[in-house]
Amino acid sequence: MNTPVADFVRAYAAARPARLHMPGHKGTGPLGCESLDITEVQGADALCQPSGIIAESEANASSLFGSQRTFYAAEGSSQCVRAMLALAVWRYGERFPGVRPVVAAARNVHKSFLYTAALLDFDVVWLWPEGPVTSLCACGLSPEALEAALAALPRPPAAVYLTSPDYLGGQCDISALGQIARRHGAPLLVDNAHGAYLRFLSPSRHPLDLGADLCCDSAHKTLPVLTGGAYLHVGRRGPEDFAREGRRALSLFGSTSPSYLILQSLDLCNQYLAGDYPRRLAETAKNLDQARRRLRERGWTLWDTDPLKVTVDCAASGWTGPELDRLLQSRKIICEYRDRDDLVLMFTPENPSEDLWRLLDALGENRRPPLPRPPLPQARGQAVCSIREAMLLLPHETVPASQALGRVCGAPAVGCPPAIPVAAAGERIGPEARALFDHYRIPSVEVCREPGGRV
């Protein structure tokens, strides 16, 4: 597969032109990559209106992912999340003029979802997990729960929005959930930030192949792409206006000066994916399956996850997350994420095989008795005002989490990772949210205030 963006930039750098254009480093500098960092010079195309090498490269990506249309983004899945929701809200406005849009979303959304709700001013019907909840990151939504939630609405929502895989590696039944969404006349949007590689398994487990109408992938999370590289995919059965307007939606939320280093890495990744990547991915997944089996035999409790994660249920294994993290760090093994109860390790085919052996050696045998892990409360706070009003229109103040009870949340109070909000903006903080702040050791909360006093 050709690599038109990377080829152009390399040829440009090799020609050693007088760079009387941006960027200011002029192709030299301490990083060593500056000669390949260009701007939208003649022939380099333009990400916001591509008609040349970028358009050609995106078409290559679309053929690899089997999409109706694939767009590049240089500002991560957060940019693509905003674009997906904009497309859904625009379409909703055409179908139901004058009606305030609403999105039905599983509660374990990334906080970029809430920022987008504030910018686009839509309401949210939250889809809550059934049964005991053990992590803020998970939201085990069943088809029956989605059916009931959609049947209770007066009209179809602008979209059904899912996060799959979630931060711990759990996956939704996208095929079944997508069928329900379509039956109710709603497009299915999937935040697949952690699952770009799923397309290249056999059979594919990518949301596009399971029925998603729109899907965003953080290419940089699981593929050999520079941080910030992402895809916005339109499903083969998705509405044609999503493919037609996708560029406009991305342009609303992206810089007019995209990184050509990131664009080159997306371009070169096409060639990589078209080569022996599926074979290497299958081998990595097989090795990880064997490693998980070995760890379970040694006394470790692991969550069922997507194929490239190893997620330790620390509490069931007799450890706290910070304690296990310190053990791994002492062996120079750095995890992706840990909280009090869980620890996430992410692998790709780019990890040398010794990384897996180092992990197995570091963990060794585990014979600790489990620690208590009671279910977590669901923070179903009362919505006092819209997300937009709480985040953008009302003044804020930061208070200790211990003093947040009864206040109205002004902005998400969780860092990244996992960037999943305990309380949504506009909700009154109840005792359940207060307990979750304690559980996740969130020290302070941004709340709304009025000029004359508290809200």
pLDDT digits (tens, 9 = 90+) for 168-225: 999 999 999 999 999 999 999 999 999 999 999 999 999 999 999 999 999 999 999 9
Secondary structure of residue 428 in the 3-state scheme: strand
Cα–Cα distance, 276 to 298 (Å, whole number): 33
Angle (deg, nearest 10), helices 353-363 and 277-297: 10
Supply the pLDDT for residue 308.
98
Summarised one tens digit per residue, pLDDT across range 384-418 is 999 999 999 999 999 999 999 999 999 987 777 89
Q: Can you tell me the mean pLDDT for 79-90?
A: 98
State the average pLDDT over residues 319-329.
Answer: 98
Contact yes or no for 127/397 (Cβ under 8 A): no
Which comes out higher in pLDDT, residue 455 or 1? 1
In terms of DSSP bridges, do strands 230-234 and 309-313 run parallel, antiparallel, or are they unpaired?
A: unpaired
Q: Is 126 helix (H, G, I), strand (E, B) or coil?
A: strand
Instruction: State pLDDT tens for residues 263-276.
Output: 999 999 999 999 99
> Can you give the pLDDT at residue 197?
98
Architecture of domain 46-255: 3-Layer(aba) Sandwich (3.40)
pLDDT value for 434: 94
Residue 170, CB half-sphere, CA atoms under 13 Å: how many? 20
Beta-sheet strands, E only, within 60-185: 69-73, 102-106, 123-127, 159-163
**And the tokens for 64?**
């690899």
Residue 244 CA to residue 234 CA, distance in Å, equals 10
* CATH 3.40.470.10 assigned to 387-454: no
State which H helix or E strand residue 43 sits in. Answer: none
Q: Is the pLDDT of residue 455 over 80?
A: no
CB within 8 A of 305, min separation 6: which ones?
Answer: 165, 168, 169, 170, 171, 311
Strands 159-163 and 102-106: parallel
What b/e readout covers 294-331, taking b as 16+ CB neighbours within 10 angstroms?
A: ebeeeebbbbebbbbbbbbbbbbbbbbbeebbeebeee
| Helices 277-297 and 260-274: angle between axes, nearest 10 degrees | 90
Residues 6+ apart with CB under 8 A from 76: 218, 220, 227, 228, 229, 230
* Segment among 285-299, 321-335, 402-416, 441-455 with least mean pLDDT: 441-455
Structure tokens of 419?
A: 């960037």
Other C-beta atoms lying within 10 Å of the C-beta of residue 16: 9
pLDDT of 229 higher than 90: yes
How high is the pLDDT of residue 224? 97
73 phi and psi angles, rounded to 5 deg = -135, 140
pLDDT band for 453, please (50, 70, 90 cuts): very low
HEC per residue, 250-315: HHHHCCCCCCHHHHHHHHHHHHHHHCCHHHHHHHHHHHHHHHHHHHHHCCCCECCCCCCEEEEECC
Average pLDDT of the residues of the chain: 95
Q: With beta carbons less than 8 A apart as the criterion, state whether 128 and 107 touch.
A: yes
Contact (CB, 8 A) for 325 and 174: no
What integer is the mean pLDDT of 63-88? 98
In angstroms, what is the C-alpha Rg of the chain? 23
Angle, nearest 10°, between helix axes 53-65 and 260-274? 40
CA 277, distance to chain mean position in Å, is 22
Q: Is the pTM of this model over 0.85?
A: yes
Residue 162 to residue 68: CA distance in whole angstroms: 20
* CA atoms of 399 and 94, how far apart (whole Å): 42
Residue 84 — very low, low, confident or very high, per pLDDT cuts 50/70/90?
very high
305: left (phi over 0), alpha (psi -120 to 50) or beta: beta
Domain map of the chain by residue range?
Answer: 46-255, 278-363, 387-454
Cβ neighbour number for residue 142 with a 10 Å cutoff? 16
User: What's the CATH code, domain 278-363?
Assistant: 3.90.1150.150
Contact 12, 38 (CB under 8 A): yes
> How many residues are listed for the chain in this entry?
455
CA angle 162, 165, 169 (to 5 degrees): 140
Residue 450 has pLDDT above 70, yes or no: no
Bridge partners, 216 (sequence order): 191, 232
Please state the separation of Cα 273 from the chain's center in Å: 21
Cα distance between residue 261 and residue 269, in whole Å: 12
403: number of Cβ within 10 Å: 12
Give the pair of three-digit tokens for residue 359.
């992990």
Q: What is the pLDDT of residue 140?
A: 85
Distance between CA atoms of residues 358 and 59, nearest Å: 40
* Residue carrying structure tokens 């895989």: 165
Strand partners, 105: 126, 161
